[in-house]
Amino acid sequence: MTTLAPSPPVETEPARRASSPDAASRRTAAKQVGVLVAVCLLVILAAPSDYSVRIATLVLVYAALAMGLNVVVGLAGLLDLGFIAFFGVGAYTYALLASDLHDIHLNFWVLLPVGMLVAAMLGVLVGLPALRTHGDYLAIVTLGFGEIVFILLVNLDRPVNITNGPQGVLGIDLPSIGGWEVGKEGVFLGAFGLTPTMQFFVLATLYVAAVMYCALRLRDARLGRAWRAMRESEAATSSCGVSIVRAKMSAFVFGASVAGGAGVLTAAWYGSVFPDSFLFSESIKVLAMVVLGGIGSVWGALAGALMLVLMPELLREFDQYRLLIFGLVLVLVMRLRPQGLFGSRSPGIRAPGTLGNRIRRRLRRPTDRGGRS
């Protein structure tokens, strides 16, 4: 090893950044979003049927959700088991404020940020008590929160009818842009020969593109660095001057608002919402997408969504064996690529690969209780 004291003139200059880190991150994010949009364009051009466009839109909605949850779980390392509740809150925000139910008809572009804001505020409310404590407490609190939201959606039809209970809300307004309604034959993008389904696909593409850009930018920014650091050691991260509670709260709230926006979009697309769409199993489904795609990877979130939406569709013909095959494929993927489709294996822990070792390593999570160091 070389001496380290007096700074020796380094001959081999380390890779100096050609451009500023911020500009580089902006370029990377823009490029990747460009790829996504290009792929979406291809999908719409090549889609054989309206049905396939609908499936593709569903993939995009789930991709937005998975990208949002990926920030919470993958980057910040917070286990959120009630994530779908924020989606539901966004969906109902639009459903209640843009339908005949209460005879309120606010504009989609107003309600999109409103839905995100409502979800974010709920995120703060849930996060404040939960994030101040350590570890798995958050998982339990979010699980409970998800159930509470579901129960409220079902039961808030009496004594005053707010959510219309288990019947859900029907006849939700189509989004309109400058008087043209998205998703109506012949108008707006219909002028380009786009069917109503395709128009929603375009809307979903725009939303996912925005979410992806934000997620990629944040990942490499100051906040994202703090998230990724925190996931590895809270003690070390706070010793760097990062407020752990603030960093966790930001991740949680960011994820919540992404889900809220996706909810608004979906309510407008479906034209109806039902409480049953926001069950615990949906939270797990989105979590599975994140894990399957590779925890922490933005493209992984998309891949996970693609897989978990497409596979059940493709397996339709196998009928009663559908779930069995589905489960087997999931197990196989996780067995062969435990880091997920797009995940990178954690460095430093170079694994002598016995299964026992791997399981043990997984169970042994670093405990950072500030005490002994």
Interaction partner, residue 320 (ligand ATP, other proteins, none; CB < 5-8 Å by kind):
none
Subset of residues 188 to 217 that bind other proteins, contact rule: CB under 8 A: 213-214, 217
Interaction partner, residue 211 (other proteins, ligand ATP, none; CB < 5-8 Å by kind):
none
Hey, what amino acid is at 369? R
Name the residue nearer to ligand ATP (CB basis): 107 or 239.
239
Residue 367 engages ligand ATP in binding (rule: CB under 6 A): no
Instruction: Out of 32, 233, 272, 339, point to the residue binding other proteins (CB under 8 A).
Output: 233
Residue 158 engages other proteins in binding (rule: CB under 8 A): no
Residue 371 engages ligand ATP in binding (rule: CB under 6 A): yes
Residue 352 engages other proteins in binding (rule: CB under 8 A): no
Interaction partner, residue 337 (other proteins, ligand ATP, none; CB < 5-8 Å by kind):
none
Residues forming beta bridges with residue 172, ordered by sequence position: 99
Residue 368 engages ligand ATP in binding (rule: CB under 6 A): no
Instruction: Out of 12, 49, 320, 354, point to the residue binding other proteins (CB under 8 A).
Output: 12
Residue 114 to residue 19: CA distance in whole angstroms = 37
Residue 347 engages ligand ATP in binding (rule: CB under 6 A): no
Interaction partner, residue 349 (other proteins, ligand ATP, none; CB < 5-8 Å by kind):
other proteins
Which range of residues in 137-145, 221-229, 271-279, 300-308 is near other proteins by CB under 8 A? 221-229
Residue 356 engages ligand ATP in binding (rule: CB under 6 A): no
Interaction partner, residue 347 (other proteins, ligand ATP, none; CB < 5-8 Å by kind):
other proteins
| Binding-residue total with other proteins (CB under 8 A) | 55
Interaction partner, residue 49 (ligand ATP, other proteins, none; CB < 5-8 Å by kind):
none
Residue 371 engages other proteins in binding (rule: CB under 8 A): yes
> Closest CB to ligand ATP belongs to which residue?
371
Which range of residues in 60-68, 121-129, 222-230, 353-361 is near other proteins by CB under 8 A? 222-230
Hey, what amino acid is at 271? G
Q: How far is the CB of 183 from ligand ATP (least distance, A)?
A: 59
Residue 120 to residue 123: CA distance in whole angstroms = 5
Q: Is 19 left (phi over 0), alpha (psi -120 to 50) or beta?
A: beta
Name the residue nearer to other proteins (CB basis): 25 or 52.
25
Nearest 5°: CA angle at 159, between 153 and 160? 70
Exposure string of 263-302, with b = 16+ CB inside 10 Å and e = fewer, is bbbbbbbbebbbbebbbeebbebbbbbbbbbbbbbbbbbb
Hey, what amino acid is at 71? V
Which range of residues in 22-30, 104-112, 264-272, 352-360 is near other proteins by CB under 8 A? 22-30
Instruction: Out of 226, 291, 298, 308, point to the residue binding other proteins (CB under 8 A).
Output: 226
Residue 157 to residue 251: CA distance in whole angstroms = 33
Residue 316 engages other proteins in binding (rule: CB under 8 A): no
Which range of residues in 97-105, 130-138, 150-158, 226-234 is near other proteins by CB under 8 A? 226-234
Subset of residues 210 to 229 that bind ligand ATP, contact rule: CB under 6 A: none
Binding positions for ligand ATP, rule: CB under 6 A:
371-372
Binding positions for other proteins, rule: CB under 8 A:
1-8, 10, 12-17, 20-23, 25-26, 213-214, 217-218, 221-226, 228-229, 232-233, 235-244, 250, 254, 346-349, 370-373
